[in-house]
């Protein structure tokens, strides 16, 4: 059993908003190189080759000068400048210094390029290769571009199982006098190896049927190292194993067939985690989770979690059965209790249900659900009691280049649930909610985030719809500049009632100051309304983002522009991924 406690330093995210960094000091030592003209790459390379030289006398620097010139020449040759003019002299200040001045001269340019892929790999659709523009005829020679092209071909061949492949020609011929270079690369691949059987050893506690569900490699498939990495990821992320070691080396091949051997060891069966957090919507909150990652050889698991904040407390438990494939598909049974006291709505809700999670071939995740909810509530001074049997369907898809702090990606989600009085329910209701988010980044500094939410409740008697199925807007994740769930229709006593429709949109621009700090400005607009013609609320503001080890933290200062809807100056603090 493992116990993990996570305490989030919220005060740090709130108050450490100014990052002070001392400017870096470069210790030049006693040797300084000046490259004439606008050649920053040459200057950087020369500085790297020279390094830092200290504790030399003037005579020692004179003896060092020829070596320094040789180092600069090597640095320039690497970038295609074979004929620099280099002069030097000794200058005196507090200590003697060797000053070198370099004029790069005319560069060597690539005159011809001959790259051939012979053998099966040349016709293999999995091997997509276009010679890079950086080594095209007419380009300035850069030795690292030549080497990286050669390495790419070799590495790609190994990745695809062309273990007998080799270069029969790999030549870079330079004529310094003519300032020309010729590139010739001829790679002969040989045949592509195939996968053999996948075998398992080590911990064999789980049923073979479950383990086989994580394997997407079939004997006879063309070898691909990405498939080996995918198998490792499937098993490592399953939650069942503490260690996964895969041996799929071409050195073990027989008759050009590579066996795949997997050694497994189970993880600790149970884990406990606890943490604290904060947002301006619900204030401080404490959360705890308990999970039993495997119960039996079939891979069943269960867990429970609790979250406590001033306006909301909930406790839930679940039991899950893996399906095929177990990476994406499962049936989960759930039960829970939640108490909420937000604005003018007090609610107690008891829930039991099940979810069938299945990933479609187009990578959309579909969840079919059936849950029973009993809810007692007060909206203002009006009590209510509902019992609903709610079948539902949900579709979602998320694409992101980083799950914690993406630079680009999107999230789409559609949830539909309903109930009818003809089937163990006290209301006829259809609830629909759609969410869309998108994020793009330009030049590593300019980030644009957009989000939209739209929802509707269909019913023949809205008074019978419980608060959990009504819409409320406003707050950190909705329209900033307004209180949490304060944007909603109200009655004559100014009590929040919840709306039939939800319309929320947001546009945000972020500028990256450093890799961890960003400035933001945003425009939010939306409301929860009973009629689509009702006015929407607008919020604008600025903020700062800190990419912490536990995910982005956001601090915003927002102004709600519609005072009649409760707008004003508000501080918003929240955390979590952008998508």
Q: What is the pLDDT along the chain (579 residues), one digit of tens a residue?
A: 333 333 333 333 333 333 333 332 233 578 999 999 999 999 999 999 998 888 889 999 999 999 999 999 999 999 999 999 999 999 887 889 999 999 999 999 999 999 999 999 999 999 988 899 999 999 999 999 999 999 999 999 999 999 999 999 999 999 999 999 999 999 999 999 999 999 999 888 999 999 999 999 999 999 999 999 999 999 999 999 999 999 999 999 999 999 999 999 999 999 999 988 888 888 899 999 999 999 999 999 999 999 999 999 999 999 999 999 999 999 999 999 999 998 889 999 999 999 999 999 999 999 999 999 999 999 988 899 999 999 999 999 999 998 888 999 999 999 999 999 999 999 999 999 999 999 999 998 999 999 999 999 999 999 999 999 999 999 999 999 999 999 999 988 888 999 999 999 999 999 999 989 999 999 999 999 999 999 999 999 999 999 988 788 999 999 999 999 999 999 999 888 888
Nearest to 187 by CA among 227, 228, 157: 157
Domain termination residue (choose one: 266, 284, 313): 266
Identify whether 325 is preceded by a cis peptide bond (ω within 30 of 0).
Answer: yes
Do residues 203 and 325 share a domain? no
Domain CATH code at residue 42: 3.10.20.310
Paired tokens of 22:
């001392």
Distance CA 353, CA 356 (A): 10
Would 21 be classed as within a structural domain?
no
Angle at Cα 533 formed by Cα 527 and Cα 536, nearest 5°?
Answer: 30
Whether 25 is covered by a domain: the verdict is no
- Number of domains, the chain: 4
pTM for this entry: 0.79
540 and 447 housed in the same domain: yes
Same domain? 433 vs 554: yes
**Pair (495, 464) in one structural domain:** yes
Q: Which residues contact residue 24 at a Cβ distance below 8 angstroms, ignoring those fewer than 6 apart?
A: none
Angle between helices 58-78 and 143-159 (to 10 degrees): 50
Domain residue limits at 153: 109-188
**Bridge pairing between strands 569-575 and 551-560:** antiparallel
Same domain assignment for residues 290 and 302:
yes
Domain boundary among 246, 266, 286: 266
Residue 366 sits in the same domain as residue 224: no
Whether residue 471 sits in one domain with residue 535: yes
Query: Is 4 among the domain residues?
Result: no
**Residue that is last in its domain, among 103, 118, 153:** 103
Q: Is residue 17 part of a domain?
A: no
Asked whether residue 420 falls in the same domain as residue 534, the answer is yes
Domain membership flag for residue 241: yes
Do residues 530 and 500 touch, judged by C-beta distance below 8 A?
Answer: yes
Q: Give domain status of residue 487, yes or no.
A: yes
User: Is 568 within the bounds of a domain?
Assistant: yes
Query: Do residues 190 and 162 lie in contact, with contact meaning Cβ atoms separated by under 8 Å?
Result: yes
Q: Do residues 454 and 532 both lie within one domain?
A: yes
Alpha carbon 190 to chain centroid distance? 38
Query: Same structural domain for residues 435 and 344?
Result: yes
Cis-peptide, bond into residue 308, ω within 30° of zero: no
CATH number, domain containing residue 436: 2.40.160.50
Distance CA 473, CA 464 (A): 20
Within a 10 A sphere around the Cβ of 545, how many other Cβ atoms? Answer: 24
Same domain membership, residue 514 and residue 389:
yes
Residue 19 domain-assigned (yes or no): no
What span, in angstroms and rounded, lies between the C-alpha atoms of 195 and 254? 10
Shared-domain flag, residues 64 and 156 = no
Angle at 261 between CA 258 and CA 264, to 5 degrees: 160
């Amino acid at each position: 059993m493992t116990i993990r406690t996570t305490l989030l330093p919220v005060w740090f995210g709130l108050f450490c908003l100014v990052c002070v960094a001392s400017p870096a000091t470069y210790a030049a030592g006693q040797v300084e190189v000046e490259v004439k003209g606008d050649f920053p790459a040459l200057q950087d390379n020369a500085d790297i080759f020279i390094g830092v030289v200290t504790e030399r006398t003037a005579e020692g620097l004179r003896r060092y000068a020829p070596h320094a010139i040789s180092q600069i020449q090597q640095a320039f040759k690497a970038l295609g400048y074979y004929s620099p003019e280099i002069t030097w002299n000794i200058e005196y200040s507090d200590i003697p210094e060797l000053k070198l001045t370099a004029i790069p001269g005319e560069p060597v340019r690539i005159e011809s390029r001959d790259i051939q892929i012979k053998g099966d790999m040349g016709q293999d659709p999995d091997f997509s290769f276009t010679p890079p523009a950086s080594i095209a005829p007419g380009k300035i020679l850069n030795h690292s571009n030549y080497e990286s092209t050669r390495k790419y071909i070799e590495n790609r061949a190994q990745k695809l199982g062309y273990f007998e492949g080799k270069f029969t020609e790999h030549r870079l011929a330079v004529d310094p006098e003519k300032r020309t270079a010729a590139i010739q690369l001829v790679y002969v691949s040989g045949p592509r190896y195939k996968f053999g059987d996948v075998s398992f050893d080590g911990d064999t506690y789980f049923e073979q049927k479950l383990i086989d569900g994580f394997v997407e490699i079939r004997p006879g498939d063309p070898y691909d190292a990405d498939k080996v990495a995918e198998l490792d990821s499937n098993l490592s992320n399953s939650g069942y194993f503490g260690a996964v070691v895969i041996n799929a080396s071409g050195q073990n091949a027989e008759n050009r067939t590579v066996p795949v051997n997997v050694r497994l060891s189970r993880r600790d069966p149970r884990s406990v985690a606890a943490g604290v957090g904060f947002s301006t919507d619900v204030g401080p909150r404490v959360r705890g989770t308990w999970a039993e990652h495997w119960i039996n050889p079939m891979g069943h698991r269960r867990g429970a979690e609790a979250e406590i904040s001033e306006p909301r407390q909930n406790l839930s438990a679940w039991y899950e059965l893996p399906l095929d494939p177990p990476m994406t598909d499962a049936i989960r049974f759930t039960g829970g209790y939640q108490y909420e006291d937000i604005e003018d709505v007090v609610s107690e809700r008891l829930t039991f249900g099940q979810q069938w999670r299945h990933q479609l071939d187009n990578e959309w995740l579909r969840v079919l659900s059936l849950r029973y909810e009993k809810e007692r509530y007060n909206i203002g001074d009006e009590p209510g009691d509902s019992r609903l049997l709610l079948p539902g369907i949900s579709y979602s898809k998320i694409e992101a280049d980083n799950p914690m702090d993406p630079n680009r990606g999107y999230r789409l989600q559609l949830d539909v649930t309903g109930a009818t009085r003809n089937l163990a329910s006290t209301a006829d209701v259809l609830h629909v909610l759609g969410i869309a988010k998108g994020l793009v980044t330009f030049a590593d500094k300019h980030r644009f985030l957009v989000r939209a939410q739209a929802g509707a409740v269909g019913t023949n008697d809205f008074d019978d719809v419980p608060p959990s199925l009504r819409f409320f807007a406003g707050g950190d994740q909705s329209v900033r500049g307004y209180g949490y769930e304060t944007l909603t229709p109200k009655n004559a006593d100014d009590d929040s009632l919840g709306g039939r429709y939800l319309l929320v949109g947001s546009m945000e621009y972020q500028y990256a100051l450093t890799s961890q700090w960003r400035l933001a400005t945003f425009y939010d607009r939306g409301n929860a309304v009973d009629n689509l013609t009702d006015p929407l609320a607008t919020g604008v503001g600025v903020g700062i983002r800190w990419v912490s080890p536990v995910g982005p933290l956001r601090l915003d200062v927002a102004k709600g522009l519609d005072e009649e809807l409760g707008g004003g100056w508000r501080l918003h603090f929240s955390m979590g991924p952008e998508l």
